Structure 1
Amino acid sequence: MAYKELARKIVENVGGKENVRSVVHCITRLRFKLKDEGKANTEVLKNMDGVVTVMKSGGQYQVVIGNHVPDVFEAVVKEGGFETSTSQSPEDDSNDSDQSLLSRAIDTI
């Protein structure tokens, strides 16, 4: 798998698989829900080959990958042993106390 090493480094630098509540992806980003964002090494991730940048928005820790995100997502899921999901519906966040009403509305839009 071409993205195995990148996936390993991403999982490690978001705080390890035990720090990940969930992960989904959109067109260009891996969208993590982390238990503790303080455990993530944002600067390491930003400077990693294969990562465009890192953003925090709407209660999500977003690792911007680019157009090959589906392949990286698949490798991250295998590396972390996470459940797979390629999209996130607004209902997924409806009971998330870490996310404000405004953030949920923006994510829905």
Structure 2
Amino acid sequence: MTTAIDIGALEDIPRQAARLVKTHFGCIAVFRTAEDKVFALDDACPHKGGPLSNGIQHGEQVTCPLHNWVFDLNTGQAQGADEGAVRTYPVRVEAGRILLDRAALAPQVAAE
């Protein structure tokens, strides 16, 4: 990561929970697993816009609180019969701080 945004301490997010980070480009859900792995992905489920930061985290997956779609925190892909994905963002923990890649937050431009 070239430039990073410090979004808080790892200890600010309980294990197996998430926090919402609001950016100029949209809301990002930041998850901490029971093993202290950290993941960041778009907060809105592509099915009905459910807030994934309010979903139930199990291992390295999260279940949408509205319609039970399950997403892989590594890839953002919906699991099982559900089709769809959410965008993931590079994130790391350094000296106990969660750092989000600033360059990855830029809006995606479709190829013409």
TM-score where L is the length of structure 1: 0.27
Higher helix share: 1
TM-score where L is the length of structure 2: 0.27
